[in-house]
Structure 1
Amino acid sequence: MSKIKNRGRLIRQQAKELVLDFFRSKPECKPKAEGITQAQIFRECGFDWGEYPKATSSNQQYWVIAILRALESEGKVEQVRESGPWRLKETMIYSDEQ
């Protein structure tokens, strides 16, 4: 793997860990809680680069949905309902000990 691709892989892994740490810090993100919106996750995790031509803040959120879907495929988070908020999956209840 090239150095550049490896750095990208590491950044993606760190971004997923940051989102999981954020979820663990918020009561509304715990399993069975109401969850939090993608936009809130995006802003509160510091992923917003600000407003730029053809790269508005709302367009920048696509990266966050990729992170959330990756975490979902790993069984760590779940979307409460379609187009709804996100929270930790019940299986992650003891993940703070890891």
Structure 2
Amino acid sequence: MRVARRSRSIQTVVTLDLTVPGLNSNGPRRELQDALGEAVRVYVVSTDRRHDCITLHVEVAGQTLDTVIGALAANLTQATLGRAKTISVRR
């Protein structure tokens, strides 16, 4: 008896850290969804009350690094981009 293997696709995911002013993540989350689509995942990494900013970890599937950075530069003008990379995920 043969066991059928389920084929898995490889998906490209752009991950990056983003620091934005303010202590509430609701506004930046909406701006990220408007700029990158509904498939964006956003996680709060840290809150810095002294400097009045938060750091977000952002994951965007199915887009290139250049596209993501361009959308961020156009829509989140006060954000500071941290480490950004593209990874491949087998799903």
Q: Same fold (TM over 0.5)?
A: no
Normalised by the length of structure 1, the TM-score is 0.28
Q: Radius of gyration: which is bigger?
A: 2
Between 1 and 2, higher relative CO (CA 8 Å, sep ≥ 6) is seen in 2
Normalised by the length of structure 2, the TM-score is 0.30
